[in-house]
């Protein structure tokens, strides 16, 4: 009798432990991107899973060990996706089976994500459309946020259209709306999402740029979906971008922080604590959204760093130049956090062959700025100021073979005065040679009594005399 009671008690205890140990699927979310559909299962704890495909009809089967479904599956936005429906049931006593019925075949890729600042445990299943190959980089379950020390060396040159005198091609601006989909970015008072505000500003900036002949703006992210940071620069490169502009509206530890900023890449650390904090925050986006890590294990780190430094020198100088013009124009319509372009290790700016800037349109954590950032009039003004800075830069530095270069060479636009912020290692003679002006005119334009210049000093570059082309 005692043995029977003991066995019965152990059975009850074992059942209770199993119930207690079960992981709940607390919610299920779905995001549609141009080439894939992402399913996200929010979990109360870690799980083991297995994903496989079935045909006739096409289905994806997701087996989750030790899980229980606590969320509805019939309210997901399935329009314009290859998913027809989702259904779930217990495959056995310890396995939850989710079946994804498909309208068209897809290639699945799945991985687990450990908790971070914004989410708990997650199971992510990416369904890639036919012809869209999933990335092969593995996602570590226990990835830790970190700012990369050495950027990845370039493997592909920027796709530039052929230069021909008669082509007069457009100057291409890639506009990157930060965050998106699984990664909401900063969240302001009243649940104002950074990803929503910056997409609205980006679309307005695209509209304004495309209204000007000789320029074409391409959106990196066109809707509410997640794109890994390195893929953003890949998209810009495939579009043949002459400039990459990433739009953000971040949060700060203090809600009183305010003002717009413009950033360029730094290979020697951040220029301020705010810059460092923002870069660390943005570089965690891949961990929040769920993306593969790019590995340098098969490369010599020093060689990769040297190659990148050599190729990035020219684009970084241009980034600082266009960044200062954008910042000056923004200062006319909104308060500035800092009056010069700051530098930090933003991963999204690490494109060695394309000048790149990151524009913080304001702090969404500041209640006053959050309200302004949601208004159409302020978004238009911000876009106009960014557009003005970009236009000024390219009127002075048009890529060969473009319509704007033809206008300048034909004397239809003036090569007006320019500004340059002095960086480490630069001299007055070097800048005179770079901008093709005489040393004497450079001294005169800046009222210099000697050739000594200081890091961070802003120099006026005198206009060059251009002969009109027949």
Q: What is the pLDDT of residues 13-33, one digit of tens each?
A: 444 444 445 899 999 999 899
Q: Tell me: pLDDT of 12 over 60.
A: no
Q: Convert the pLDDT of each residue in 167-205 to its tens digit.
A: 689 999 999 999 999 889 889 998 899 999 999 999 999
The better pLDDT of the pair 115, 307 is held by 115
pLDDT for the residue 352: 66
- Residue 267: pLDDT band (50, 70, 90) is low
Interval 224-239 mean pLDDT: 89
With a cut of 50, say whether residue 470 has pLDDT above it: no
Helix H or strand E segment including 212: none
Q: How many Å apart are CA 354 and CA 316, to the nearest integer?
A: 9
Q: Which of 44, 51, 110 is nearest to 71 (CA)?
A: 44
| Residues 341, 320 contacting (CB under 8 angstroms) | yes
What does the pLDDT look like over 207-230, one tens digit per residue? 999 999 999 999 999 999 999 888
Residue listed under structure tokens 């901008």 = 435
Write down the pLDDT at residue 431.
84
Task: Report whether pLDDT(459) > 50.
Answer: yes
Q: What is the pTM of this model?
A: 0.71
Q: How far is CA 328 from CA 67, 243, 388, 399, in A?
A: 55, 18, 10, 23
- The per-residue pLDDT for 412 is 83
Main-chain dihedrals φ then ψ at residue 260, nearest 5 degrees: -85, 155
Mean pLDDT on 412-436: 76
| CA distances for 36 relative to 75, 94, 124, 346, 393, angstroms | 19, 30, 12, 26, 36
Distance CA 56, CA 447 (A): 79
Across 15-24, 317-326, 386-395, least confident range: 15-24
Write the CB contacts of 421 (distance below 8 Å, at least 6 apart in sequence): 320, 321, 324, 340, 341, 456, 457, 458, 459
Q: What is the pLDDT confidence band of residue 264, given thresholds at 50, 70 and 90?
A: confident
Residue 100: pLDDT band with limits 50, 70, 90: very high
Domains and CATH numbers, the chain: 20-129 (2.60.40.3500), 171-292+299-396 (3.40.630.40), 414-461 (3.10.350.10)
- Please name the residues in contact with 108: beta carbons below 8 A apart, sequence gap of 6 or more: 51, 53, 60, 125, 126, 127, 128
Residue 138 has pLDDT above 60, yes or no: no
Cα–chain center distance at 279: 11
**Quick count: other Cβ atoms within 10 Å of Cβ 160?**
16
Q: Any residues with CB less than 8 A from the CB of 314 and at least 6 apart, and which?
A: none
Please tell me the least confidently modeled range out of 2-11, 148-157, 317-326: 148-157
130 compared with 52, residue with greater pLDDT? 52
Contacts of 17 by beta carbon, 8 Å cutoff, 6+ apart:
none
Tell which phi-psi region holds residue 37, choosing left (phi > 0), alpha (psi between -120 and 50) or beta: beta
Residue 164 has pLDDT above 80, yes or no: no
Q: Record the tokens describing residue 70, joined without a space.
A: 């606590």
* pLDDT of 292 higher than 70: no
Q: Say how far apart CA 185 and CA 277 lie, in whole Å.
A: 14
Give per-residue pLDDT as tens, 334-389: 999 888 888 877 776 667 678 889 999 999 999 999 999 999 999 999 999 999 99
The pLDDT value given to residue 372: 95
Neighbours of 20 (CB within 10 A): 7
Identify the pLDDT of residue 449.
87
Strands (E), 204-254: 215-219, 243-248
Beta strands 171-177; 215-219: pairing state: parallel
Collapsing DSSP to helix, strand or coil, 277 comes out as: helix
């Amino acid at each position: 009798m005692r043995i029977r009671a003991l066995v019965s008690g152990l059975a009850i205890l074992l059942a209770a432990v199993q119930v207690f140990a079960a992981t709940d699927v607390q919610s299920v979310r779905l995001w549609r991107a141009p080439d894939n559909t992402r399913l996200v299962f929010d979990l109360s704890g870690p799980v083991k899973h297995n994903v496989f495909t079935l045909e006739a009809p096409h289905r994806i089967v997701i087996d989750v060990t030790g899980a229980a479904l606590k969320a509805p599956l019939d309210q997901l936005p399935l329009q314009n996706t290859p998913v027809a429906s989702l259904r779930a049931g217990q495959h056995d006593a310890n396995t939850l089976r989710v079946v994804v019925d498909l309208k068209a075949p897809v290639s699945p890729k799945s991985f687990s994500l450990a908790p971070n600042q914004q989410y708990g445990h997650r199971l992510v299943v990416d369904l890639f459309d036919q012809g869209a190959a999933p990335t092969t980089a593995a996602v570590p379950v226990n990835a830790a946020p970190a700012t990369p020390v050495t950027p990845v060396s370039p493997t592909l040159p920027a796709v530039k259209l052929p230069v021909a005198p008669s082509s007069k091609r457009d100057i291409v601006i890639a506009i990157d709306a930060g965050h998106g989909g699984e990664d909401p970015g900063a969240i302001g008072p009243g649940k104002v999402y950074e990803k929503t505000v910056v997409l609205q500003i980006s679309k307005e900036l695209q509209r304004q740029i495309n209204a000007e002949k000789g320029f074409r703006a391409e959106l990196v992210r066109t809707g509410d979906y997640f794109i890994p940071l390195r893929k953003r620069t890949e998209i810009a490169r495939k579009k043949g971008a002459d400039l990459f502009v990433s739009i953000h509206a971040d949060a700060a530890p203090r809600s009183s922080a305010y003002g717009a900023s413009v950033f360029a890449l730094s290979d020697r650390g951040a220029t301020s604590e705010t810059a460092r904090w923002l870069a660390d925050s943005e570089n965690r986006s891949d961990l929040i959204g769920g993306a593969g890590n790019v590995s340098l294990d098969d490369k010599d780190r020093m060689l990769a760093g040297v190659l990148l430094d050599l190729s990035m020198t020219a684009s970084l100088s241009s980034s600082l130049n266009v960044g200062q013009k954008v910042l000056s124009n923004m200062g006319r319509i909104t308060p500035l956090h800092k009056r010069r372009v700051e530098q930090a290790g933003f991963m999204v700016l690490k494109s060695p062959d394309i000048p790149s800037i990151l524009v913080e349109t304001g702090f969404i954590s500041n209640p006053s700025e959050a309200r302004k950032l949601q208004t159409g009039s302020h978004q238009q003004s911000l876009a106009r100021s960014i557009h003005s800075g970009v236009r000024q830069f390219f009127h002075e530095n048009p890529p060969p073979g473009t319509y704007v270069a033809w206008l300048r060479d034909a004397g239809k636009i003036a090569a007006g005065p320019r500004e340059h912020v002095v960086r480490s290692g630069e001299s007055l003679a070097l800048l005179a040679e770079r901008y093709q002006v005489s040393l004497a005119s450079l001294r005169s334009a800046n009222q210099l009594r000697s050739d000594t210049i200081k890091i961070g000093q802003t120099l006026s570059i005198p206009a060059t005399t251009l002969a009109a082309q027949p």
